[in-house]
C-alpha cells in the first residue's frame, strides 16, 4: 500500500530552499551580446525589455525580447532572458528550448551565462522531466560541492523520477544539515518505506515526532511500515492516530479503511471509506473499494449505486468492471454481466475470477462452446498459479529472498493480497 506525498510538497521543498535570486534569477547583463544593435534595432530596445522584465510585465517583456532576438539572432543573453520569462509564465517547454539555445550560443562565443544551467534544471523539474533535471543538478553539484540547495534539488529529482534508492543519500545529507526541516524528513521516510528499509523508516519517524508530535503524515508512514512488517494491529492503530491528529489529511481515512478491508473487517472499513469521500467526493479509489466492500458483503444494491457513480470517473482499474459484473450477475442481468466481465479480461487477461464467472454465465445460457473456452482459461490460470506457488515454496526453503518478484499473490505495492485465494480478488491501489 502506497500513498503519494501531499500535493505540492516537492515545490514546497524547492521554494523553501531556493533564494529569490535562484527562483527567478535572471541572466547577466546583455552588454556581452555578440550582435550589435542595428539601425532598426536601437540599443534602447534591450533596455526597454529589461525594464518591462523588472516591472514583472512578463507578456510585454517576452515580446520585447523576441524583437531583440529578431534583430540579433545570435544574442545568447536575449535567449536566456526569454527563457526566464517563459518559465515565469509556466511555459516550461518553450523555456527549456530558449535556455538550450542560449547555452549553445554562449558556448560557441565562450561567454558562459551565470545561473543559466540552474534555471534550465528548474524548468526541466517543473515540466516533470525529473531525470533530465537530475542530470543538470548533478553537474551543478559537482561545480558547487556541498551546496544544500543543489543537494535537495538532486534528491527531489530522483524522488520525482521514482528513483527512491538514489534519492536517499541526498535527502539524508540534506536532512542532517537541517535538523528542523519536516518536509525533508517526510520525503526521506517515504523513500525508505518504498525501498523496504523499514527500520530506517521508523528511525526517521521518531525524528519527525521530535519536530511535530502531531504529524498525521508521519503516523501514516509508520502505519505503512508496520503493515509491511506484518504488524496489522500496530498499522491500524497508527492510522487511527493519524486520523485523530488530522481528519482532513489526504488518504488518511482511505489508508485506515484499506487496512481494515484487507483484514476483512468490512463493517469497520465502510465508515472510513465514507469519511475519505467526505473529504474528497471525487476520490475514485475510495469509491471503488467501498463498492467492492459492499460486493463482498453481498449488499449488491448498495454496491451497484456506489460503483455506477464511480464509473462516471475515468479509471483503468479492472476492479470496477469485475465488481459490476458480479453485481449484474447476482441481480440476473446477464447481458450487463457479460459486458463488464469481458471488459475485465480485456484489462486483465489473467483474471481467473472473471473467466470463471463468464464461463458460468455462458453455461447457464446454454452456450457450451463459449463456456468451455472460459473454463479452460480459468483452469489454465489456476494451474499456473499452483505451479508457481510450489516453485516459490521450494525457493523459499532453499534461501530467503525478501524481494523475490512474484512471491505470493501480491498487490501493486508488494503486499500479500489477503483476497488472492478468493474468487472476488480485487486489484490494489495505485502507487507512485
Is 343 contained in some domain?
yes
Which residues touch 65 (CB under 8 Å, ≥6 apart)? Answer: 49, 53, 78, 81, 82, 85
- Specify the residue for cell string 523520477: 161
Confidence of residue 312 (pLDDT cuts 50, 70, 90): confident
Q: What is the mean pLDDT of residues 113-122?
A: 95
Is 97 contained in some domain?
no
* Residue 26: per-residue pLDDT: 58
* Residue 118: per-residue pLDDT: 95
Which residues touch 197 (CB under 8 Å, ≥6 apart)? Answer: none
Domain that holds residue 358: 317-432
* Residue 252: per-residue pLDDT: 95
Confidence of residue 165 (pLDDT cuts 50, 70, 90): very high
Is 422 contained in some domain?
yes
* Residue 28: per-residue pLDDT: 53
More confident residue, 144 or 34: 144
Confidence of residue 57 (pLDDT cuts 50, 70, 90): very high
Q: What is the mean pLDDT of residues 350-360?
A: 93
- What letter would DSSP give residue 41? B
Question: Three-class SS of residue 410?
Answer: strand
Say whether pLDDT at 39 is over 50.
Answer: no
Confidence of residue 218 (pLDDT cuts 50, 70, 90): very high
Is 10 contained in some domain?
no
CA-to-CA separations, 101 to 97, 107, 232, in angstroms, rounded: 6, 10, 55
CA distance 131 to 152: 14
Mean pLDDT of the chain: 83
Q: What is the mean pLDDT of residues 189-198?
A: 95
> For residue 346, what is the domain's CATH number?
1.25.40.10
Say whether pLDDT at 59 is over 60.
Answer: yes
Q: What is the mean pLDDT of residues 261-289?
A: 95
More confident residue, 355 or 398: 355
Lowest mean pLDDT among 203-212, 342-351, 384-393: 384-393
Say whether pLDDT at 320 is over 70.
Answer: yes
Is 52 contained in some domain?
no
Say whether pLDDT at 305 is over 90.
Answer: yes
* Residue 421: per-residue pLDDT: 30
Which residues touch 18 (CB under 8 Å, ≥6 apart)? Answer: 149
Lowest mean pLDDT among 23-32, 78-87, 321-330: 23-32
* Pure H helices in 110-144: 116-127, 130-143
Say whether pLDDT at 6 is over 70.
Answer: no
Is the pTM higher than 0.75? The answer reads: no
Q: What is the mean pLDDT of residues 193-215?
A: 95
- Specify the residue for cell string 545568447: 76
* Residue 43: per-residue pLDDT: 76
Say whether pLDDT at 115 is over 50.
Answer: yes
Nearest to 79 by CA among 104, 57, 58: 104
Q: What is the mean pLDDT of residues 164-175?
A: 97
Question: Three-class SS of residue 21?
Answer: helix
* Residue 429: per-residue pLDDT: 53
CA distance 213 to 219: 9
Is 334 contained in some domain?
yes
H-run or E-run covering 299:
none
Is 338 contained in some domain?
yes
Using one digit for the tens of pLDDT, what is the confidence trace for 142-157?
999 999 999 999 999 9
With beta carbons less than 8 A apart as the criterion, state whether 129 and 138 touch: no
Q: Give phi and psi for 375, each to the nearest 5.
A: -60, -40
CA distance 268 to 91: 47
The total of other beta-carbon atoms located within 10 Å of residue 419's CB is 18
Task: Look at the chain and report how many structural domains it folds into.
Answer: 1
Using one digit for the tens of pLDDT, what is the confidence trace for 71-82?
999 999 999 999
Is 34 contained in some domain?
no
Confidence of residue 399 (pLDDT cuts 50, 70, 90): very low
Confidence of residue 295 (pLDDT cuts 50, 70, 90): very high
Q: What is the mean pLDDT of residues 355-362?
A: 94
Amino acid at each position: 500500500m502506497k500513498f503519494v506525498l501531499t500535493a505540492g510538497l516537492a515545490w514546497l521543498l524547492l521554494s523553501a530552499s531556493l533564494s529569490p535570486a535562484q527562483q527567478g534569477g535572471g541572466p547577466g547583463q546583455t552588454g556581452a551580446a555578440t550582435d550589435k544593435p542595428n539601425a532598426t534595432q536601437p540599443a534602447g530596445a534591450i533596455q526597454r525589455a529589461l525594464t518591462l522584465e523588472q516591472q514583472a510585465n512578463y507578456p510585454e517583456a517576452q515580446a520585447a525580447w523576441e524583437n531583440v532576438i529578431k534583430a540579433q539572432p545570435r544574442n545568447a543573453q536575449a535567449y536566456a532572458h526569454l527563457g526566464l520569462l517563459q518559465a515565469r509564465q509556466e511555459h516550461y517547454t518553450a523555456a527549456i528550448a530558449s535556455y538550450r539555445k542560449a547555452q549553445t550560443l554562449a558556448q560557441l562565443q565562450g561567454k558562459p551565462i551565470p545561473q543559466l544551467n540552474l534555471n534550465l534544471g528548474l524548468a526541466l523539474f517543473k515540466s516533470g522531466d525529473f531525470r533530465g533535471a537530475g542530470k543538470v543538478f548533478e553537474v551543478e553539484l559537482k561545480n558547487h560541492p556541498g551546496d544544500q540547495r543543489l543537494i535537495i534539488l538532486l534528491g527531489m529529482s530522483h524522488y520525482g523520477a521514482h528513483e527512491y534508492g538514489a534519492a536517499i543519500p541526498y535527502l539524508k545529507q540534506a536532512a542532517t544539515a537541517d535538523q528542523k526541516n519536516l518536509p525533508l524528513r517526510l520525503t526521506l521516510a517515504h523513500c525508505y518505506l518504498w525501498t523496504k528499509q523499514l527500520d530506517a523508516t521508523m528511525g526517521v519517524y521518531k525524528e519527525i515526532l521530535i519536530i511535530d508530535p502531531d504529524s498525521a503524515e508521519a503516523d501514516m508512514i509508520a502505519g505503512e511500515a508496520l503493515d509491511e512488517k506484518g504488524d496489522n494491529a500496530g498499522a491500524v492503530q497508527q492510522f487511527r492516530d493519524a486520523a485523530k491528529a488530522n481528519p482532513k489529511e489526504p488518504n488518511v481515512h482511505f489508508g485506515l479503511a484499506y487496512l481494515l478491508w484487507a483484514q476483512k473487517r468490512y463493517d469497520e472499513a465502510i465508515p472510513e471509506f465514507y469519511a475519505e469521500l467526505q473529504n474528497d467526493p471525487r476520490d475514485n479509489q475510495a469509491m471503488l473499494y467501498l463498492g467492492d466492500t459492499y460486493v463482498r458483503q453481498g449488499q449488491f444494491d448498495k454496491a451497484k449505486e456506489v460503483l455506477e457513480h464511480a464509473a462516471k470517473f475515468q479509471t483503468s482499474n479492472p476492479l470496477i468492471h469485475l465488481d459490476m459484473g458480479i453485481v449484474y450477475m447476482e441481480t440476473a442481468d446477464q447481458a450487463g454481466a457479460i459486458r463488464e466481465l469481458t471488459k475485465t479480461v480485456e484489462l486483465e487477461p489473467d483474471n481467473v475470477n472473471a473467466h470463471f464467472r463468464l464461463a458460468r454465465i455462458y453455461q447457464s445460457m446454454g452456450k457450451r462452446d463459449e463456456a468451455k473456452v472460459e473454463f479452460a482459461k480459468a483452469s489454465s490460470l489456476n494451474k499456473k498459479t499452483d505451479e508457481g506457488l510450489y516453485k516459490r515454496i521450494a525457493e523459499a526453503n532453499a534461501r530467503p529472498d525478501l524481494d523475490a518478484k512474484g512471491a505470493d499473490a501480491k498487490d501493486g505495492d508488494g503486499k500479500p493480497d489477503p483476497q488472492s485465494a478468493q474468487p472476488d480478488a480485487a486489484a490494489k491501489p495505485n502507487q507512485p
